[in-house]
């Protein structure tokens, strides 16, 4: 390279005649090096702490389990409790909900919460009324006439709108249930999502058919079209327009753990703890962040 001195650059050549004695110079270099190291480590810590954290995302580190949307706001069920938001952007702990795994679901106007063996409902997120106690299960779904379906082991329990227990349905042979949906106003048509795929019954649990082998972390039957099903998977949201016979990838390609619909809009919550919205559930999924 032009202008580069020939031969190796020795310490003596670098110091020059007007430099401080070598020992003092080395000590100064050590101090500068230590300062640079501290700054670097500090910057590294900031990067580590901020990595994976998106502005407007749901706070905390507990696994996201489910999502419920109603006209006023959102509820998110996590492994460490439930959080609520007026807009999907700012979140606070839900009122009077235990700090333990929480399942939430919505029929578009009422949100349901199952935590600590107590099933509650709300239409405004300000007050939660108790529907039933002693309810055990991991996943809930709203059914016709205010009935709530509860996935409990190998059965699907049901709680009437007034809190009385109804006859349970036989559950699918699917361990590791993640999600559930009741199709339209047909109480005998149920979808259950599990680690081994998506199962469906149309005869109140007498027979079950596995209609997809993809891990099904969230499932939603379109309230306006019972043949239209949205499915949350590790690879994004899939949609079927014919009751689960055929599936297509939507524009949402992130790991989805919750789906909900409200007033003709569709919402998904991802493992990055952000809620996304879409007007048709297929295209233009947009993050609800500031």
Residue 195 is encoded by which pair of tokens?
């680690």
pTM of the model: 0.81
So what's the pLDDT on residue 272? 94
Per residue in 6-54, pLDDT tens? Answer: 444 333 333 333 444 444 444 443 433 434 333 333 333 333 333 344 5
Q: Are 87 and 70 contacting, i.e. CB atoms less than 8 angstroms apart? A: no
* Exposed / middle / buried, residue 255 (Cβ in 10 Å: 0-12, 13-18, 19+): middle
pLDDT of residue 54: 55
Q: Which two three-digit tokens encode residue 287? A: 């993050």
Residue ranges of the chain with per-residue pLDDT less than 50 = 1-53
Residue with tokens 């580190």: 61
Report d(CA 59, CA 81) in Å as an integer: 12
pLDDT in tens, 211-222: 999 999 999 999
pLDDT of residue 248: 98
Q: Which residues pair with 156 in a beta bridge?
A: 151, 169
């Amino acid at each position: 390279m032009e202008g580069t001195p020939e031969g190796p650059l020795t310490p003596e050549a670098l110091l020059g005649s007007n430099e401080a004695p070598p020992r003092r110079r080395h000590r100064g270099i050590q101090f500068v090096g230590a300062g640079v190291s501290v700054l670097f480590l500090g910057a590294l810590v900031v990067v580590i702490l901020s990595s994976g954290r998106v502005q407007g995302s749901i706070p905390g580190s507990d696994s996201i389990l489910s999502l419920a949307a109603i006209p006023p706001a959102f509820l998110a069920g996590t492994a460490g409790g439930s959080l609520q938001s007026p807009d999907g952007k700012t979140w606070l702990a839900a009122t009077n909900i235990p700090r333990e795994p929480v399942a939430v679901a919505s029929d578009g106007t009422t949100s349901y919460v199952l935590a600590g063996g107590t099933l509650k409902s709300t239409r405004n997120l300000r007050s939660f009324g108790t529907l039933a106690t002693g309810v055990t299960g991991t996943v809930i779904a709203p059914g016709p006439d205010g009935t709530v379906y509860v996935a409990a082991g190998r059965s699907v329990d049901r709680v009437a709108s007034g809190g009385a227990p109804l006859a349970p349905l036989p559950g699918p042979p699917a361990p590791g249930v993640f999600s559930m949906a009741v199709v339209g106003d047909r109480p005998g048509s149920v979808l259950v999502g599990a680690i081994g795929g998506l199962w469906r019954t149309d005869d109140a649990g007498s027979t079950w058919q596995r209609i997809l082998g993809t891990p099904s972390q969230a499932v939603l039957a379109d309230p306006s079209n019972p043949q239209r099903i949205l499915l949350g998977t590790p690879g994004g949201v899939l949609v079927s327009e014919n009751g689960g016979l055929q599936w297509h990838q939507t524009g949402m390609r992130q790991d989805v753990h919750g789906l909900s619909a409200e007033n003709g809009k569709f919402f998904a919550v991802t493992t990055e703890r952000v809620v996304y919205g879409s007007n048709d559930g297929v295209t233009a999924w947009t993050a609800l962040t500031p």
